[in-house]
Amino acid sequence: ADKYEGLSFPSFKIDHSSSIGAYKLWFGCPLTIPDDLVRLFNAGSNLPLSLLTVAAIRDFGINQRRSSFHSKMSGKLLDEYNSWHLRDEFLPFPEWSQAILTLIHLFRSVRGPPPEDEDIEQDPIHQLTEHVLHISTRVNSYNWPIFREYDKRIRQLLWAPRPKGVGMPFSISTIHAQTLDDAEVLLHGRSGAAADYGAVLNSAWAAVVSAPPSDIIRVGKRLADLTLPSAAKVSAKDDSSSSKTSTSHSHTPSSSTNNNYGSNANGKRKAEDDGRSQSPQSSFRGPPTAPPLPRSPMFCIICRIVTDRHIWYLCPGPYPQDLYP
């Protein structure tokens, strides 16, 4: 029988093939993943990342200071296994990077060539790699606990029991804003920078700036095609309304006193409005400045005289002979 018969991955389509799970610490130095972790992974268990760090793998191979785990655990063995999940709450970013890449390698080690017609979003290697890249390129000392909690929630959702054939409610290839916001609220008690970042990711502007150039050109051309007819209609309507207005003004009767008064008042208001519109920057002018006061005589440090005709930095000279060496 196949060693890995009955593999169960709840959210990915996996080709049930097998190979050796080895994580290379550096070129030419294979670091073999312990067999009990490989068996747990193939049984569909959500492995603690703390067990997949380089230090944990090497310690098990040399010192054997932890028990060997299996899929059907209970009692103290299950408590010991769960304690490794608790250690994930404090996993530093470098160790997390080691462990999550080891997890990706585990998927790679049991996966055969993907079918040609398979959607790339169904590929666990692609999804997890994008997940790691999105986190790794945004982590700093402040937000790492938030992204660590976000990663934990994503992995819990990946391995959560679901009916057969039911996939993830969203793709992990991009940051899921609501899950990131929930992680921040859990740790800080309120939404903050992470929520703002998630909102930016979901905005139309983010879709535009992240779109391929060909899509942007196509959208721009489509927008231009849609707006040109409307702009032409608006321009034609403005021209016709202005011509009607000028015609009506030229034929307005002014025989009665009331009409004369009204037209004069309207004329005054129009003249005031025209005066304002002729100078679009008039509203930005400062208060009128008073004429400069006469300058009192001051000592000029250049020509060394007391004068009210100039100030020192506008001194016309003559300059003293000893001013320059």
pLDDT above 50 (res 284): no
In a domain, 12, yes or no: no
In a domain, 301, yes or no: no
- Residue 108: which of 7, 3, 20, 46 has the closest Cα? 20
In a domain, 3, yes or no: no
Cα(47)–Cα(88) distance, rounded to whole angstroms? 10
The pLDDT value given to residue 181 = 87
> Total domain count for the chain?
1
Structure tokens at 300: 């000029």
In a domain, 143, yes or no: yes
Q: Kindly report the pTM of this predicted structure.
A: 0.56
Asked if 69 and 77 touch (Cβ cutoff 8 Å), the reply is: yes
In a domain, 163, yes or no: yes
Average pLDDT value for residue range 89-113? 88
Structural domain of 63? 22-113+120-209
In a domain, 45, yes or no: yes
Place of tokens 């609220």: 185
In a domain, 323, yes or no: no
Cβ atoms within 10 A of the Cβ of 67, count?
A: 13
In a domain, 220, yes or no: no
pLDDT above 90 (res 263): no
Rounded to the nearest 10°, the torsion over CA 72, 60, 149, 105 is -90
The pLDDT value given to residue 84 = 95
Average pLDDT value for residue range 246-265? 51
The pLDDT value given to residue 204 = 62
Cα(55)–Cα(42) distance, rounded to whole angstroms? 22
